[in-house]
């Protein structure tokens, strides 16, 4: 069976939960079975021999909510395949290496556990590494390929992070966490919020997520301006935004929402100088990656009143350390990297991760990532 045949056969598999069979939503993104970029180089990978097949061990990492087993039917793997789910997170490389040394395959949830060259070299048995999503900056894919470890990904959903961005914006502008807490404590109307209508939304990055955030801003009747390194005026106009310089975006916006991929040129793109350009009444929203913003500079800017506050879903270190200043910083709404965390998204992640493992066991891996 070719990789294309295998994918065509398995793409409509059922996701089973609590004993009930439910098809993945019709809107679930499907990889075309003939995509050569993902399949070509690994066509003809030999299946594991019978002894290996019946001894294959699969680790599912960082299942914080204990949902991996009900989001996909792992019992459909070949008889004898052992699946071990870990709900706790390990940050120490030595501890991760010790935990995974006896596994043939690992399913990693996003970037929760980094797989550096140093770690991969300590996992001689590892032959398959699955990441949820088709991009994972915390995996050294080149090192994996050198060690003949197949790295596979999954599809995902484009809208949950954009929705969470607006949850953070509304929570800040209307002081929802403060009012919720006050009401539960017996107090009534302790703050005066701000409306969005007529305000200026600055969107940094107009890709799949940023463009959704911009369009929702238009629905709130906000003025939408945008900037990124490669953004054109024509692209901005398509989304209903106006292209401006980074400095103008920062100085004009009432809320700045970041939607960039972390890279060498975006790391600490927003530091003390950039934050100083913002209005003292403006808010910063980051649902992309923590290191895009200089975290220490952001804490200082909020404490000093340089900006009004921030809504954050991502951090330099995750999970956020217990003694981190953001935990007690006023005028912030912080969430634990929830942007992609929805049941709909998890069904795709775990469902296609299961397909990745099955295809690899059959010697025909799918959705293969390149360095």
Do the domain assignments include residue 370? Answer: no
pLDDT of residue 53: 52
Residues 323 and 347 placed together within one structural domain of the fold: no
Residues 11 and 62 placed together within one structural domain of the fold: yes
Residues 179 and 152 placed together within one structural domain of the fold: no
The confidence band for 341, taking pLDDT boundaries of 50, 70 and 90, is very high
Do the domain assignments include residue 369? Answer: no
Residues 167 and 313 placed together within one structural domain of the fold: yes
Do the domain assignments include residue 283? Answer: yes
* pLDDT (mean) for 95-118: 97
Residues 120 and 12 placed together within one structural domain of the fold: yes
Residues 150 and 193 placed together within one structural domain of the fold: no
Residues 81 and 50 placed together within one structural domain of the fold: yes
Which residues form the domain of 54? 3-157+343-361
Q: Report yes or no: 182 and 190 within 8 Å, Cβ to Cβ.
A: yes
Residues 221 and 304 placed together within one structural domain of the fold: yes
Contacts of 60 (CB under 8 A, 6+ apart): 68, 83, 84, 85, 86, 106, 107, 109, 353
Q: What is the average pLDDT value for the chain, to the nearest integer? A: 88
| Whether pLDDT at 364 is above 80 | yes
pLDDT of residue 54: 54
Active site residues: 289, 318, 337
Q: Report yes or no: 173 and 281 within 8 Å, Cβ to Cβ.
A: no
| Whether pLDDT at 47 is above 80 | no
Residues 286 and 351 placed together within one structural domain of the fold: no
**Residue with more model confidence, 30 or 86:** 86
Contacts of 205 (CB under 8 A, 6+ apart): 226, 228, 231, 258, 259, 260, 288
* pLDDT (mean) for 338-350: 97
Residues 140 and 252 placed together within one structural domain of the fold: no
DSSP code for 75 = G
Do the domain assignments include residue 264? Answer: yes
| Whether pLDDT at 32 is above 60 | no
**Residue with more model confidence, 13 or 332:** 332
Q: What is the DSSP string of 29-58?
A: ----TT-HHHHGGGTTPPPPPHHHHTT-EE
pTM over 0.75: yes
Residues 19 and 123 placed together within one structural domain of the fold: yes
Do the domain assignments include residue 11? Answer: yes
* pLDDT (mean) for 97-122: 97
Strand order in the sheet with 200-204: 242-243, 223-227, 200-204, 255-258, 283-286, 309-312, 332-334
The confidence band for 56, taking pLDDT boundaries of 50, 70 and 90, is very high
- Distance in angstroms (rounded) separating the CA atoms of residues 226 and 235: 10
- Distance in angstroms (rounded) separating the CA atoms of residues 284 and 293: 10
pLDDT of residue 129: 98
Residues 67 and 166 placed together within one structural domain of the fold: no
pLDDT of residue 55: 75
- Tally of domains within the chain: 2
Write the CATH number for 272: 3.40.50.720
């Amino acid at each position: 069976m070719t990789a294309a045949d295998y994918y065509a056969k398995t793409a409509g598999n059922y996701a089973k939960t609590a004993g009930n069979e439910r098809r993945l939503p019709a809107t679930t993104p499907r990889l075309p079975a003939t995509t050569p970029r993902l399949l070509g180089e690994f066509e003809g990978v030999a299946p594991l021999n019978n002894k290996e097949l019946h001894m294959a061990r699969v680790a599912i990492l960082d299942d914080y909510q204990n949902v991996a087993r009900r989001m996909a039917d792992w019992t459909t793997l070949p008889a004898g395949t052992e699946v071990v789910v870990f709900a706790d997170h390990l940050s120490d490389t030595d501890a991760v290496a010790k935990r995974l040394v006896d596994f043939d395959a690992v399913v990693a949830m996003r970037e929760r556990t980094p797989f550096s060259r140093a770690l991969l070299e300590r996992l001689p048995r590892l032959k398959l590494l699955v990441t949820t999503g088709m991009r994972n900056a915390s995996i050294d894919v080149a090192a994996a390929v050198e060690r003949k470890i197949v790295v596979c990904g999954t599809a995902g959903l484009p809208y949950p992070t954009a929705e969470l961005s607006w949850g953070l914006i509304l929570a800040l502008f209307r002081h929802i966490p403060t009012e919720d807490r006050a009401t539960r404590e017996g107090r009534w109307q302790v703050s005066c919020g701000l409306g969005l209508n007529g305000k200026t939304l600055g969107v940094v990055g107009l890709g799949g997520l940023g463009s959704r955030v911009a369009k929702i801003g238009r629905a709130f009747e906000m003025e939408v301006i945008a900037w990124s390194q490669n953004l054109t005026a024509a692209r901005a106009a398509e989304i209903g935004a106006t292209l401006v310089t980074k400095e103008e975006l920062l100085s004009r916006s009432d809320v700045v929402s970041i939607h960039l991929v972390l890279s060498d040129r975006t790391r600490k793109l927003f530091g003390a100088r950039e934050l100083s350009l913002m209005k003292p009444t403006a808010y910063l929203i980051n649902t992309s990656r923590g290191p895009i913003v200089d975290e220490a500079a952001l804490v200082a800017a909020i404490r000093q009143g340089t900006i009004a506050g921030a809504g954050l879903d991502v951090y330099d270190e995750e999970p956020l350390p217990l003694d981190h200043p953001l935990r007690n910083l006023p005028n912030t709404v912080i969430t634990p990297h929830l942007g992609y965390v929805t049941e709909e998204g998890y069904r795709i992640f775990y469902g296609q991760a299961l397909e990745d493992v099955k295809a690899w066991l059959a010697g025909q891996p799918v959705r293969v990532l390149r360095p």
